[in-house]
Amino acid sequence: MKRIFLYLMTVVALLMGSGVQAKAPRKLKALVVSGQNNHNWQVSHQVLKLILDHSGLFETDIVLTAPAGGDMSSFRPEFHRYDVVVLDYNGDRWPAETDAAFLKYVQGGGGVVIYHAADNAFAGWEEFNRIIALGGWEGRTEKSGPYYYLKDGKPVLDNTPGPGGSHGQQREYPMHVRHSKHPIVKGLPDNWIHGRDEMYDRMRGPANIKDLLYTGWADAATGGSGREEPLVFTVDYGKARIFHLMLGHCGPTLEDNPAMQCVGFQTLLLRGAEWAATGKVKQPVPSDFPTDRTPSFRMDYKPR
Ligand code: ZN
């Protein structure tokens, strides 16, 4: 009996010693793609990396294209090496080999985050438009697909001719939940105030939205469409996990971009990126998340 006891104590001591403790989970590998944009990509791609890396969940690489009009031939990101690809890119077409590598990654079940003006990109690339589901500007019209918005809480596909993509004046606005049980949204308040931002409206495209997560009222009094507009959703595209986040207009300096400093934006980016990478969301809801009355900001992009 005593011998068994000693044996068990030895086993316990060994287990408590080196080698059996739970390892820190592997960080998710994220790739931010930037280099051209009608926005301040020089700031936005850095902010995206700061938010992702400060969470402790991701280790983030950046890949930049050549400047507009430059030689794109060496732009060959290794998409397949990443758990999630975050697009912060709106510019010249990539080389055909890079298009093909991106499609192979996405169609093979890759994770993608479409961030703000990334949904302006590549208006003439049909498959890319199916990856974003809705896009704007860059010549988009009724040929790109219907307008998509909510009326009386129900989706409307509106084939009225006209340009795709507009927005009213920047302002703070309430976010309205549409799928409170989705892993990206679960635990977040149904309604919360987003920091000052553009609200994209009149977007159009194939509209293959999988789960609509948040909408916002594009108030005509501030130049909006006067419709309840889709702002945050996932895309129905085979095995891929695609998270489309229209929020996050990037201001001129690191210190002056309230949309990206909003804790709501940062939380959605992190939860959407984790979901795109793994299909699950394990991170808790932050205690400084905005409420239905007040926005909340992290100027340093660091969790509290
Ligand atoms: Zn913008």
Q: Answer whether 135's CB lies under 8 Å from 164's CB.
A: yes
Relative to beta strand 171-177, strand 191-197 is antiparallel
CA separation for the pair 165, 160 (Å, rounded): 14
Q: Sketch the domain layout of the chain as residue ranges.
A: 27-147+159-278
| Ligand 1 centre distance from Cα of residue 43 (Å) | 13
Confidence (pLDDT) at 304:
86
pLDDT tens digits along 212-247 = 999 999 999 999 999 999 999 999 999 999 999 999
Q: Greater confidence, 7 or 180?
A: 180
Query: What average pLDDT does range 257-286 have in this prediction?
Result: 98
Between the CA of 12 and the centroid of ligand 1 the distance, in Å, is 58
Q: Looking at 10-24, 152-166, 238-252, which range is the least confident one?
A: 10-24
At residue 251, the pLDDT reads: 86
> Of how many residues is the chain composed?
304
pLDDT at 245: 99
211 CA from centroid of ligand 1 (Å): 23
Q: For 150-163, what is each residue's pLDDT tens digit? A: 999 999 999 999 99
- pTM across the whole model: 0.92
Q: What is the mean pLDDT of the chain?
A: 94
Residue 24 has pLDDT above 90, yes or no: no
Specify the pLDDT at position 101. Answer: 98
CB-based neighbours (< 5 A) of ligand 1, an ion: 198, 249
Residue 177 alpha carbon to ligand 1 centre in Å: 22
The domain covering 27-147+159-278 belongs, at the CATH homologous superfamily level, to Class I glutamine amidotransferase (GATase) domain (3.40.50.880)
Mean pLDDT of 188-196: 98
Instruction: Give me the percent of the chain exceeding a pLDDT of 70.
Output: 93
pLDDT at position 20, please?
A: 53
- Write down the pLDDT at residue 30: 99
The angle, 0 to 180 degrees and rounded to 10, between the axes of the packed helices 41-54 and 263-278 is 70
Instruction: Give me the mean pLDDT over the 183-199 stretch.
Output: 98
Q: What pLDDT shows up at residue 25?
A: 83
pLDDT tens profile 169-189:
999 999 999 999 999 999 999
Q: How far is the CA of 201 from the centre of ligand 1 (A)?
A: 12
The structure tokens listed for 82 are 């990443």
What percent of the chain clears pLDDT 90, i.e. is strictly above it? 89
Under DSSP, the state recorded for 26 is P
Confidence of residue 299 (pLDDT cuts 50, 70, 90): very high
Q: What is the pLDDT of residues 91-119, one digit of tens each?
A: 999 999 999 999 999 999 999 999 999 99
Does 3 score more than 90 pLDDT? no
CB of 45 closer than 8 Å to CB of 61: no
User: Which of the four pLDDT bands, split at 50, 70 and 90, describes residue 21?
Assistant: low
Query: Could you report the per-residue pLDDT of 30-74, keeping only the tens digit for each?
Result: 999 999 999 999 999 999 999 999 999 999 999 999 999 999 999
Q: What spacing in Å lies between the alpha carbon of 207 and ligand 1's midpoint?
A: 21
**297 Cβ contact partners less than 8 Å away, ≥ 6 residues apart:** 195, 258, 261, 262, 263
> Sorting pLDDT into bands at 50, 70 and 90, what band is 16?
low
Q: Count of H helices and E strands in the chain?
A: 6, 13
Alpha carbon of 117 to ligand 1 centroid (Å)? 6
